Structure 1
Amino acid sequence: MENIQAKQYPCFKRWNRKGWSVFASLRRYVTIGVLSAGMSILLLATQGASAQNADTAAVLKTWRIREVGITASQTAPARNAQSHTPLFDRKAQAQAPVHTLEAALRLAPSVDVRERGGKGTQADIFIRGGSFDQTMVLLNGIDFTDARTGHQSHALPVDLDCISSVELIDGVPGVGAYAGAVNIRTAPLRPTYLRFEGSGGQYGYVCANLSGAVTSGRFSVLGAASCRRSDGYRHNTDFSNYNAFVRVTCDGGRAGFFDLQAGWQDRDFGSNGFYAAYNPDQWEHTATALASLRWIKSAGRFSLGTAASYRKNFDRYDWTRGTPMNRHNTDNAGAKAWADCDWAAGKTSLGADWAFNHIYSTNLGEKLAVPEGHYTHAKARHTGNLWLRHAKAWRRFDMAASAGVSLTPYGTSALWSLSAGWTPAEGLRVGAGVWQSMRLPTFTDLYYTSPAQINNLDLVPEHAVTYRLGADYLKRRWNVSAQVYYRAGRDIIDWVWREDMDGKWHSEQSSRLDTYGVELSGGYAAPEGFLRRAALSYGYITTDRNADIVAKSAMDFMRHKAALSVEVCFLRRMSLVLTGSVYDRNGSYTDYPRPGDSSVSEVRDYKPYFLLDGRLSWEKGICRLYVDATNITDARYCDIGGLRLPGFWCTGGVVLTIGR
């Protein structure tokens, strides 16, 4: 994009990253007259749900160019996917009043984050009207979706300071990504650094985080550990959360590129009304360990890659705190391989992946002849995908198509997607696509029984066809985006209220669900001045169900969602960020006014609510001080049932960052 400057600035033809370089002392705006193609971005451009790729650190070629402003786009993180929609960007939202992934995603128009407690205690991610079970969750392009329940899928051992961006991936055909895939990318803040953050505030909230990275030549290590806890904002909402994460990348030259990541999380939380609104004494403890290894090798026109991953998850649920009721031990393993070929007609990719899911449980799966410790039930399943994709780009046009087959215990399903893009003017892109998606019933859908619920072993996979049309425009400091989509879903799985089954909830799929949506967003960003950033977004969803039934979650979608975020800087070192958001949820819920008493209840509609959050910070050198205030207006609201979420909550902290 051409950047015409009315004011003259120094222009450099060569630069250096040394601490004593002239860039470090000028403190002025400069232009660059030489660009090295293939610059390292220290951000893995993962090619993930079925195949991955990495940015190279090598400088391939040097071109002499005119002084221009530069914008970049990342490769879609799945070769058999279509496009990606940004949900969070660390650079743009570094000063926002958020501490958790859930809080960072609340403002995105594509996402409905339904929390049960404060500070990310327990939450579900709903994408474009889909449920938490219909969303695939990737970490650096590796699928770590939990096969037992979507409640656990995004409980990953990664803190927000390590997350460089989050994106929504459209058109990932196959098992799991019915409504889309959320890809969480991690990257160091700097090539080499050490960072400590400590914060605390109301309700006994304390958080400590230590992270850092070391980069030497082609080798890089990112590591982080944290603990976060609170006494809770009301009875039995206390929690503790411990995370540890490490990522190692190495460019081995002829040996190829290696990417290893591993993490561990341990958390427990009081679950006042979480899964039964009238019971205030529930409690849950979860523990997660995960790891993956990816290898990529390029040879001329060809690129080869493989990846293997594993996730272990433990879960203990107490109906009454201190008295175990349900225990689950879940294993999710995966492997994939792929090959790319660049030739005159475009780029062709061929790949395959396999997944193994296994569970030991006290009530999910088939009954064991001999119990395995605490567990009396178990179940396992295998799934796989084979796919072929071809993409071709011209000067202003690009097209892509993929086809394949998904192999599951329920038989085979076709995989396909089509997409096209057009760039009619500089900075403007228009794209369209259509794709087929599906997801398998979770172990909870199939086997969960309780005094209020009846399982269903006859469930089959959900299927959908989604159509999308979008446009993006970027010019200097301004950006605008618009998306319109329609998803036709069939065999939708949900818990349905049945009077003919003793008034219990029954797992079934007797309906179709058509979802229509519109997403608009725009923003302004400047590197200097009083107003640094302003962003406005709006999302609208409506659904049409062909069956008149009482469903538990499919119709509780976020109908309207609007958010405004503003960042200003003043007095040289001070900054203030305010975010305001309006939410209007469709549907109703059953409220129990007397805790512990299920005999008295009433049905209430969800009410619109407004949230205002803010952060005031001061920064100098290696030190940054901040004060956060969430829900400044002390709004009373809930995302699920009648679970009241925190009112005004004030915290403060210090961040120390040493490095370069």
Structure 2
Amino acid sequence: MSAPTDKNATEIVQTTFANIQSNHQITDSWKIMPRVTYRYNYDDYRYLGNSNLTVGRSQHYTNSIAGELNSTVKLSKGEIGFGAEFRNENIHSSNIGDHDRDNVGLYAEYRTSFTEKLDVNIGTYLNYNSDYKWQIYPGIDASYAITDAFKIIGNVGTSQRIPSFTDLYLKQTGNIGNPDLDSENAFQSEVGFKYNKKALSLNANYFYRKIENYIDWMRNETTVPWQSQNTGDLNTNGINLRGTYRFDFSKDSRLNILLGYTYLDSEFKTARTETYSKYAISSLKHQITNTIDYQFRNLSVMFATRFNERITGPSYWVNDFRVSQAINKFTIFLDGQNIFNATYYEVGAVPLPSRWFTLGVKLVTF
């Protein structure tokens, strides 16, 4: 958040992640899936690099442990899914302080086919957070098959985003958190169609999303620090188009082509008196994505490109590639990111990575 004056800055990150999960078929119709996860992260940001560790240094230690139990029961008509999850997260930070909170969630959903062509999924999620108390989020989605290949889809749902510890408690010279923030609450709806036949797949959707109590970092003048605020309601209308085509040259050789387009029209319905915004002005407006993936036996070559145009700032193209070769249980791969070295920004004045390459080996033992 200090670009472009942080050219000498360095950052050290250490992360440990563990996950244990299993599946248990209790009866022919009842299955449970428990899971436990743990994540530890240490972040050491040095604004002046290693030249002076007493000024402009931020250290954060975070821990998160979570457990969940998911279950499904097959019925004569449909399937019931239900479960519970618990998560505790805490932080010890030089700029955020010491904080701890718990989150408990309960969910239930029912999936069924009312007719041979109509599928419906109805569900709800009940959430308790130690800072924001109880909330409930219902939703429904449905699909109707006009033909074997053509299907109409639609969904309506609600959701929540709880402010992060950074949003709430950050204390820096240029950035100040806000402990009085409310959580964001969103309503979203979507309608569209899917077409799948042989090698061709097409999706087209129109969606609407309204976020209440949208959280942004604002300031009135350049001399005033950024502060997180609930800035009003953000309404977004959008269109998403996606198509794929598969060429099968032989049983060992095939080519997949994907092309996608997204359009977003975002508007604030509540007056924003602040002059500067970190996130609203960088919202995406147009995006084009294209992926070409060729596979010959155990060799895979992929080229991906995307075009982004935001509300402000210049548009840009970013191109990536990957080459991988599987040898028994090993896969050797070479990744190239931003191979044409485009200069682009997504939030404020923070530049995204220039051209870089990764060479690696992956071992699969099961």
Give, as a single letter, the amino acid of the residue that structure 2 aligns with 1:304.
I
| Alignment RMSD | 3.3
CA distance in 2, matches of 1:657, 1:293: 19
Match of 1:586 in 2: 311
Higher strand share: 2
Out of 431, 446, 449, the residue aligned to residue 168 of structure 2 is: 446
Which of 52, 58, 61 aligns to 1:326? It is 58
Contact 1:427 1:475 in 2 (8 A): yes
Q: Partners in 2 of 1:620 and 1:334 — Cα distance?
A: 34
State the one-letter code of the partner of 1:534. Answer: I
SS at match of 1:320: coil
Aligned pair partner of 2:281 in 550, 555, 574: 555
Deviations 1:70-99, CA, capped at 9 Å, x for gaps: xxxxxxxxxxxxxxxxxxxxxxxxxxxxxx
Q: Which residue pairs with 1:228 in the alignment? A: none
Output the CA distance in 1 between the equivalents of 2:6 and 2:142.
51
Cα separation, partners in 2 of 1:551 and 1:397, compared to 1, 3 Å: same
Deviation at 1:648, TM superposition (A): 5.7
Give the equivalent residue in structure 2 for 1:564. 290
- Cα distance in 2, alignment partners of residues 527 and 567 from structure 1: 12
Q: How far, CA to CA, are the matches of 2:361 and 2:92 in structure 1? A: 42
The alpha carbon displacement at 1:643 in A equals 4.1
Q: Deviation at 1:401?
A: 1.1
**Residues 1:455 and 2:177 are matched in the alignment:** yes
Distance 2:183 2:261 in 1: 32
SS at match of 1:526: strand
Deviations along 1:192-251, one digit per CA (max 9) or x if unpaired, are: xxxxxxxxxxxxxxxxxxxxxxxxxxxxxxxxxxxxxxxxxxxxxxxxxxxxxxxxxxxx
Please state whether the residue corresponding to 1:446 is helix, strand or coil. helix
Find the aligned partners of 1:292 and 1:626 in 2 and give their Cα distance.
Answer: 25
**Offset at 1:417?**
0.7
Mapped contact 1:277–1:641 kept (Cα < 8 A): no
- Show CA shifts across 1:452-488 (max 9, x none): 2222111121100110123221211111111221111
Structure 2, unaligned runs of 5 or more: none
Letter in 2 for 1:303: K
Match of 1:390 among 87, 110, 113: 110
- Letter of the 1:551 counterpart: S
* 2:282–2:348 contact (8 Å) kept in structure 1: no
Q: Which amino acid aligns with 2:243?
A: G
**1:211-250 equivalences in 2 (<5 Å):** none
Instruction: Give the partner amino acid of 1:317.
Output: Y
Kept in 2, the 8 Å contact 1:328–1:359? The answer is yes
Give the C-alpha shift of residue 655 in structure 1: 7.0
TM-score by length of 2: 0.84
Residue 641, structure 1, aligned to residue 348, structure 2: yes
Flag the 1:575–1:342 CA change in 2: closer, same or farther, 3 A: closer
**2:126 matched to which residue of 1?**
405
- 2:7 aligned residue: 280
Contact 1:498 1:506 in 2 (8 A): no
Query: Is 1:540 the equivalent of 2:263?
Result: yes
Decide whether aligned partners of structure 1 residues 277 and 425 sit closer, same or farther in structure 2, where only a CA change above 3 A counts: same
SS in 1 for 2:112: strand
Counterpart position of 1:184: none
Which digits, 9 at most, give the CA deviation of each residue in 1:39-80, with x for residues without a partner? xxxxxxxxxxxxxxxxxxxxxxxxxxxxxxxxxxxxxxxxxx
Superposed CA offset, 1:367-393 (max 9, x none): xxxxxxxxxxx1111111222221112
Q: Which amino acid aligns with 2:318?
A: L
Give the one of 84, 90, 111 matched to 1:352. Answer: 84
Task: Give the alignment of 1:610-629 within 5 angstroms.
Answer: 610-613=317-320
AA of the residue aligned to 2:268: R
* 1:289-337 alpha-carbon deviations (Å, 9 max, x no partner): 1222223322133223432222111111112112161111111111223
State the shift of 1:544 in Å.
Answer: 0.6
How many aligned residue pairs are there?
Answer: 353
- Alpha-carbon shift at residue 493 of structure 1 (Å): 1.2
- 1:387–1:415 Cα contact (<8 Å) kept: no
Rounded to whole Å, the distance in 2 between the matches of 1:352 and 1:653 is: 40
Contact 2:3–2:349 (Cα < 8 Å) also in 1 = no
Question: CA distance change for structure 1 residues 311 and 621 in 2, over 3 Å: closer, same or farther?
Answer: closer
Is the aligned partner of 1:380 residue 2:100?
yes
Sort the Cα spacing of 1:450 and 1:563 in 2 relative to 1 into closer, same or farther, 3 A.
Answer: same
Per-residue displacement from partner, 1:323-353 (whole Å, max 9, x unpaired)?
Answer: 1611111111112234432223422233222
Higher-RCO chain (CA-CA 8 Å, sequence separation at least 6)? 1
Q: Does the CA-based 8 Å contact 1:543-1:555 persist in structure 2?
A: no
Percent identity among equivalent residues? 23
**Secondary structure at 1:450's aligned position in 2?**
coil
Q: What residue ranges of structure 1 are gaps of 5+ in the alignment?
A: 1-273, 366-377, 588-605
Q: Partners in 2 of 1:509 and 1:451 — Cα distance?
A: 21
Deviation at 1:637, TM superposition (A): 2.8
Matches within 5 A, 1:70-469: 275-298=2-25, 299-322=27-50, 323=53, 325-365=57-97, 378-393=98-113, 394-408=115-129, 409-469=131-191
Deviation at 1:634, TM superposition (A): 4.5
Q: Judge conservation of contact 2:3–2:350 (CA < 8 Å) in 1.
A: no
Aligned twin of 1:515:
236
Code of the residue aligned with 1:480 in structure 2: it is L
SS of the equivalent of 1:511 reads coil
TM-aligned CA distance change 1:468 to 1:380, over 3 Å: same
Tell whether the 8 Å contact from 1:459 to 1:508 is kept in structure 2 after alignment. Answer: yes
Q: Tell me the distance in 2 between the aligned counterparts of 1:658 and 1:462.
A: 40
Question: Could you tell me whether the CA contact under 8 Å between 2:326 and 2:332 is conserved in 1?
Answer: no
Look up the match of 2:315: 608
Change over 3 Å in CA distance of 1:633–1:315 after alignment to 2? closer
Distance 2:212 2:154 in 1: 22
Partners in 2 of 1:448 and 1:337 — Cα distance? Answer: 34
